[in-house]
Chain A
Amino acid sequence: MTQEAIQLSLPGFEQAHGRWRVEYGQQIGTERIIKNRSRIEIKPLYTPRDWNGDAFLENLGFPGQYPYTRGIYPTMHRGRTWTQRQLIGLGTPEDYNKRVRIILDAGATAISLLPCNSGFRGVDCDEVDPVLLGTCGTVINTTDHMDRALDGVPLGRISTAMNDPSPFTLLAFTLGVAKKRGIPWTSISGTSNQSDYLSHFIANHMFYRLSLPGSRRVLLDHIEFCRKHVPNWNPVSVVGQHMQQAGATPVETMAFTISTALQYAQDCIERGMDIDFVLRRFTFFFDISISFFEEVAKFRAGRRIWARLARERLGAKDPGSWRFKFHGQTSGVDLTEQQSLNNIARVAVQAMAGIMSGLQSLHTDAYDEAITTPTEETARIAVATQNILREEAHLCDVIDPLGGSYYVETLTDQMEQEMVALIGKIDEAGGMYKAAEAGTIQSMIGESALAFQERVEAGDEKVIGVNSYQIDETDRRGRPTERPDPERMKEHVARFKAYKAVRSQTDVRHALDALARAANSPRENVYERIVEAAGAGVTHGEIVSLLRKELGFGHPLVVV
């Protein structure tokens, strides 16, 4: 609860407050207990007795000033608005290229790339049933594929965010393309999204690629390599999204994410890296749910906690290390298949929460994202939603517009306290790596997911069109599911097989041998060898399978 150390002198306050309480009690009838998703009880009214601006400089301060509660830059969205970064990825590299060029022609300065699920799984396109290929991302297995995907894309001048989990082959392919085109690596900017192997281990099984210790090693090598050779690249994006999507509450999500960042930072320190050199390039990635005020409080509290921990616990001295830079994606979990046009309204509210929290970049879901991969039209509406909020609704005029609200500040403080307590528990468990290895985090998330679902089933948590205001939709005929053209995909796989047959087998063998040696020698940087292998024509699946052999296969830990 808020410290009421300093009581403002408000003549007549108690009397008026008392009168309101009586009237409220008479008119409300049976009072319901309302709790937010983090199970914090929400009062009907907040006043200066809950929050009075006490310790303003210490807890809030000014934008761009420690502890950054109100935003990490002095101008925030009034200066430079957030980056509109829509995720794209579908079909073959040529399909992707077509879509990305449309986006660039429309003025985008940042792009993203989502690989096919076969890539997430760690295999090449010729290793899986073709019906599974390219439905959720682009099939990119080689430097050659990346070259085709990025044809005509000015690599050194745009920022590229790639969903590229360990061992970061997509970046390796990109660096291969840059080399081929004579673009210096120092001009390459962007982010290795999905570099957070702990969140994968906990919430979405991506650890199938590599064992936990193997993933830990590769991430550290990746960070070290990028900081040295690709200085404008963000090698780490700590991901809260998976955990919240899997069912963690907003408080749990923020606590787990910050604990994960602490783990990576500690690992870097133990590796002998300079903490400021590393933290400056840490970024975060979150889900934004429709629980509007709770999300705003989540992000404001997270910024404050991170700044304090980075400075006090990790000993970072550069303000750049204290700044909690985050990308937000509107949550697909809140979207419904039923009456799916309603999702446009949901996404707008989620996006407002993210914007009013001061995020750095934003992806808004298309309204059909709960059902399928978005089409050009639905993706356009998602972008338009951001444009409307920015330019018509004037959400960028004021920095931290909800700051100073009795409710939002109280909630920010309450959520911060719970997050800090949870981070403390994870510290006691030996840090996030150990807590994840033991399954502790997974159990907590599983319990929260089930609890939320039970609230939905009981009607305590309303979902319009699902448990209330349902309409008969038996006649609904959705548009045909968007799937990649099977003929083009077949050609792509055939071309891939032919490519593997004609490349220099000697180069491939040498590169794989060097990679195996590096994996077995702690002194060598594995990622450097991955980048070399990618340049030598080695495929994604070959790199992953060799590393699985050398560093261990990731085995599932299932906690129901």
Chain B
Amino acid sequence: MTASTLSPPARILVTKIGLDAHDRGSRIVAAYLRDAGMEVIYTPPWQSVPGVVKLAMEEDVDVIGVSSLATDHLIVPKLMDALRQAGLGHIGLVVGGIIPEDERPALIQAGVSAIFGPGAARDDIIAHVGALAVKARERRNAEFTEIAQ
């Protein structure tokens, strides 16, 4: 299975959690993914962790992209925990924006699949998110099968 053969298409939630309002990057990435054939659920900034978990569940997304440009990224590990607790551990997570070097390991250890900083190429973002969506969909379907059996 590849991202382009996913049916329904990959569903990506593009959001910002915390207090930072800089959304030029998240809008552009949302447009990139949309133009690549994915279904994008886009939120305005200033979302809360519980709000994003609820939305991810209701929209049945495969990947969440969190954008942070003003130091709010330390909230991401909390989002990962909340997703797992809500039974949404299959969802892939990528982070974009300004993440200082010294604070990257904390995000990667928490399970963030990739961090896209300034200068990240459009094709790399699309390819990574697409592959992540395929993996997430497989995990999700496997869980469903388990439950069904």
Quick check: B27 and A449 within 8 Å, CB to CB? yes
Quick check: B24 and A129 within 8 Å, CB to CB? no
Please classify how large the interface on chain A is, using the bins under 10, 10 to 19, 20 to 34, 35 or more: 35 or more
Question: Which of chain A's residues 118-137 have a Cβ closer than 8 Å to chain B?
Answer: 118, 120-121, 128-129, 131-132, 135-136
**A466 contacts partner chain B, Cβ-Cβ < 8 Å:** yes
Quick check: B119 and A136 within 8 Å, CB to CB? no
B7 CB to closest chain A CB (Å) equals: 24
Within the assembled complex, what's the spacing in Å between the Cα atoms of A118 and B118?
25
Known contacts being A120-B21, A556-B44, is A338 close to B100, with CB within 8 Å? no
| Chain A residues whose C-beta falls within 8 Å of the C-beta of B42 in the assembled complex | 558, 560
Question: Which of chain B's residues 111-126 have a Cβ closer than 8 Å to chain A?
Answer: 117-119, 121-122
Within the assembled complex, what's the spacing in Å between the Cα atoms of A543 and B112?
38
Quick check: B118 and A338 within 8 Å, CB to CB? yes
Which of B45, B101, B118 has a CB less than 8 Å from the CB of A370? B118
B53 CB to closest chain A CB (Å) equals: 15
A234 CB to closest chain B CB (Å) equals: 24
List the count of A-B residue pairs having beta carbons below 8 Å apart: 99
Question: Which of chain A's residues 526-558 have a Cβ closer than 8 Å to chain B?
Answer: 556, 558
Quick check: B118 and A450 within 8 Å, CB to CB? no
Residue of B nearest to A467 (CB): B119
Size of the B side of the interface (Cβ < 8 Å), in residues, is 34
Q: Which of A205, A245, A336, A556 has the most CB of B within 10 A?
A: A205
Quick check: A372 and B100 within 8 Å, CB to CB? yes
Question: Which of chain B's residues 25-63 have a Cβ closer than 8 Å to chain A?
Answer: 27-28, 30-31, 34, 40, 42-46
Within the assembled complex, what's the spacing in Å between the Cα atoms of A107 and B31?
48
**B103 contacts partner chain A, Cβ-Cβ < 8 Å:** yes
**A525 contacts partner chain B, Cβ-Cβ < 8 Å:** no
Within the assembled complex, what's the spacing in Å between the Cα atoms of A132 and B46?
11
Which of A206, A336, A478 has a CB less than 8 Å from the CB of B100? A478
Question: Which of chain B's residues 82-103 have a Cβ closer than 8 Å to chain A?
Answer: 98, 100-103
Which of A371, A463, A476, A558 has a CB less than 8 Å from the CB of B44? A558
**A186 contacts partner chain B, Cβ-Cβ < 8 Å:** no
| Interface pairs A-B: 3 shortest CB-CB | A117-B19, A556-B44, A135-B71
Q: Show the binding face of A for B, using Cβ within 8 Å.
A: 116-118, 120-121, 128-129, 131-132, 135-136, 204-206, 208, 245-247, 333, 336-338, 370-373, 446, 449-450, 453, 457, 463, 465-467, 476-481, 483, 556, 558, 560
